């Protein structure tokens, strides 16, 4: 935490993946995927191009009053942590002065499409989103065209505002940005980067979900906008960082086997005492660790299938939860008091209270308990969160992921996106 965080504000913290309180998720969920965007615009680009595929344009002409509203919105976009220069407001001014409806419509269309894509899905693309694997929240082309036809007749601000995150953390960070002097560039950059990350997030996180904030080393269970549990975690070491992803948790396995990933098998260097080993038809060595108190997964694993083999689990190394910086794993999320965590997730089944979980684990038998319905798990990376009094609390940027976001957000004036230098440090 830094000097901007006041302990007295703890009771007033906004709900977030980093702090307790009521979390409310946005409506206006968008699930359709879209094509990867072109490079971030630079001052030399002659025109703005949309970030997503669009349907053939509907017949409409931008009215001057609507174009003026669009210009006003662009000029005020700094309150959202974005740079007005990225949307070339001078082109709207010129088109308005010329009085040519065709030219005005062409320019306004381009700028509105770009704005709607960036507000709904984020400005930063490509390398700026380090290890990002969540569903895209941006509008698809057909939805953009529908909004475009409405905006050209007026009500531009309402339509564009409807695309922004409504999560209390986004609102709180925006308020904190408004209160931060222009001279405090470091704080402003930090707030802007985390506002941008909220624009990447799915708008509807679900009424019941888990959210892990890697820099805060916490995992929270959220039900109907309220954090009902928050647990300490151990996350990926700097050399094996935890990715940002979304997966559906579907079950809990008690007394799990650990199928050792090939990357770790190589690290073991042939020392497989206490493990089951077999050689596959492909020539690779496959290693499994039987259930038990020394199992790397501990006595419990939360099943959440994903391409990255990341999940929440128990650990025999309970002492690590007392460390202030808890980046020691190969990427998975070790969770403190995970039996209580699992009991809450299994609550809707009407079974599997803490006593039954303990009894099942005591048998030593591998047992699976399925959820009534999948629970979305979001593994995110927020280095700043807001309090209700406009202050912020910060967390160490353990993987150096703020720099590429900051550089991309500033690319409208610096002329391009750069990638932060990689860090290499012991866990």
Q: What is the pLDDT of residues 192-204, one digit of tens each?
A: 999 999 999 999 9
Q: What is the DSSP letter of 87?
A: G
d(CA 146, CA 262): 48
Quote the CA–CA distance of 119 and 282 in Å, as a whole number: 47
Compute the distance between CA of residue 218 and CA of residue 195 in angstroms, rounded to an integer. 20
In this predicted structure, what is the pLDDT of residue 347? 97
The residue among 57 and 307 whose pLDDT is bigger is: 307
pLDDT of residue 10: 32
Confidence of residue 35 (pLDDT cuts 50, 70, 90): very low
Averaged over 304-329, what is the pLDDT? 97
- Tell me the pLDDT tens digit for each residue of 355-401: 999 999 999 999 999 999 999 999 999 999 988 787 999 999 999 99
| Confidence band for 271, pLDDT divided at 50, 70 and 90 | confident
DSSP 13: B
Say how far apart CA 154 and CA 142 lie, in whole Å. 19
Closest CA to 361 of 343, 345, 334, 377: 343
What is the layout of strands, in order, in the sheet containing 258-259? Answer: 258-259, 285-289, 276-279
CATH 3.30.390.30 for domain 208-380: no
| Residue 51: per-residue pLDDT | 55
Among the listed residues 334, 255, 320, the one whose alpha carbon sits nearest the alpha carbon of residue 289? 255
Phi-psi region of 221 (alpha: psi -120 to 50; beta: other; left: phi over 0): beta
Q: Considering the chain, what is the average pLDDT of its residues?
A: 85
- The pLDDT confidence band at residue 328, using thresholds 50, 70 and 90, is very high
3-class secondary-structure state, position 221: strand
Check: CB of residue 402 under 8 Å from CB of residue 190.
yes
Look up residue 55 and give its two tokens: 């349907």
Helix ranges, 122-184 (H): 141-151, 156-161, 168-179
Higher pLDDT, 226 or 96: 96
Is residue 53 very low, low, confident or very high in pLDDT (cuts 50, 70, 90)? very low
Is the pLDDT at 256 greater than 50? The verdict is yes
Domain parsing of the chain, residue ranges: 27-164+397-414, 208-380
Query: pLDDT by residue (tens digit) across 138-162?
Result: 898 899 999 999 999 889 999 999 9
pTM over 0.85: no
pLDDT band at 82 (very low <50, low <70, confident <90, very high): very high
208: CB partners within 8 A, 6+ apart: 221, 222, 223, 224, 375
Question: What distance in Å separates the CA atoms of residue 191 and residue 180, rounded to the nearest whole number?
Answer: 9
What's the maximum distance between 2 C-alpha atoms anywhere in the chain?
81
Q: Nearest to residue 67, comparing CAs of 42, 99, 37? A: 99
Percentage above 90 pLDDT, the chain: 72
Name the pLDDT band for 308 (thresholds 50, 70, 90).
very high
Tokens of 357: 């979980």
Backbone CA torsion sign across 23, 34, 382, 304: positive
pLDDT, residue 303, reads 98
| DSSP 3-state of 316 | coil
Whether 424 shows a pLDDT value over 70: the answer reads no
Residue 299 · residue 293 · CB < 8 Å: yes
pLDDT band per the 50, 70, 90 thresholds, residue 415: very low
Closest Cα partner for 123 from 410, 392, 379, 418?
410
What backbone torsions phi and psi does residue 116 show, to the nearest 5 degrees?
-65, -35
Q: How confident is the model at residue 131 (pLDDT cuts 50, 70, 90)?
A: very high
Mean of pLDDT values over 231-252: 98
Distance, in Å, from the CA atom of 42 to the CA atom of 261, rounded to the nearest integer, reads 42
Q: How confident is the model at residue 108 (pLDDT cuts 50, 70, 90)?
A: very high
């Amino acid at each position: 935490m830094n000097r901007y965080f006041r302990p007295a504000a703890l009771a007033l913290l906004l709900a977030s993946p980093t702090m307790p309180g009521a979390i409310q998720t946005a409506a206006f969920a968008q699930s359709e995927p879209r094509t990867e965007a072109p490079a971030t615009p630079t001052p030399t680009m002659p025109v703005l191009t949309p970030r997503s595929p669009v349907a053939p344009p509907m017949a409409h002409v931008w009215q001057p009053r609507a174009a003026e509203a669009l210009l006003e919105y662009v000029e005020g976009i700094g309150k959202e942590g974005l740079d007005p220069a990225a949307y070339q407001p001078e082109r709207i001014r010129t088109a308005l002065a010329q009085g040519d409806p065709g030219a005005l419509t062409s320019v306004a269309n381009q700028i509105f499409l770009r704005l709607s894509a960036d507000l709904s899905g984020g400005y930063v693309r490509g390398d700026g989103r380090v290890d990002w694997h969540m569903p895209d929240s941006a509008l698809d082309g057909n939805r953009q065209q529908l909004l475009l036809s409405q905006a050209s007749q007026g009500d531009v601000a309402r339509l564009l505002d409807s695309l922004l995150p409504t999560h209390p953390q986004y609102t709180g960070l925006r308020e904190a940005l408004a209160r931060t002097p222009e001279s405090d560039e470091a704080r402003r950059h930090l707030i802007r980067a985390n506002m941008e990350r909220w624009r990447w997030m799915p708008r509807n996180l679900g009424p019941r979900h888990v959210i892990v904030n890697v820099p805060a080393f916490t995992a929270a269970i959220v039900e109907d906008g309220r954090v009902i549990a928050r647990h300490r975690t151990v996350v990926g070491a700097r050399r094996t960082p935890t990715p940002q992803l979304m997966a559906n948790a579907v079950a809990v396995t008690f007394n799990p086997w650990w199928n050792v990933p090939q990357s770790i098998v190589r690290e073991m260097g042939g020392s497989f005492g206490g493990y089951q080993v077999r050689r596959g038809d492909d020539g690779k060595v496959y290693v499994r660790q039987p259930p038990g108190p020394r199992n790397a997964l501990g006595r419990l694993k939360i099943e959440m299938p994903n391409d990255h083999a990341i999940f929440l689990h128990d650990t025999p190394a309970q002492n690590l939860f007392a460390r202030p910086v808890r980046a020691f794993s190969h990427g998975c999320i070790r969770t403190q008091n995970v039996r209580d965590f699992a009991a809450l997730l299994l609550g809707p089944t009407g079974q599997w209270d803490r006593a039954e979980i303990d009894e099942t684990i005591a048998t030593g038998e591998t047992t699976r308990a399925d959820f009534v319905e999948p629970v979305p798990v979001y593994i995110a990376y927020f280095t700043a969160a807001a309090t209700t009094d406009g202050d912020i609390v910060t967390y160490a940027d353990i993987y150096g992921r703020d720099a590429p976001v900051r550089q991309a957000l500033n690319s409208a004036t610096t002329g391009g996106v750069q990638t932060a230098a990689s860090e290499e440090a012991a866990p």
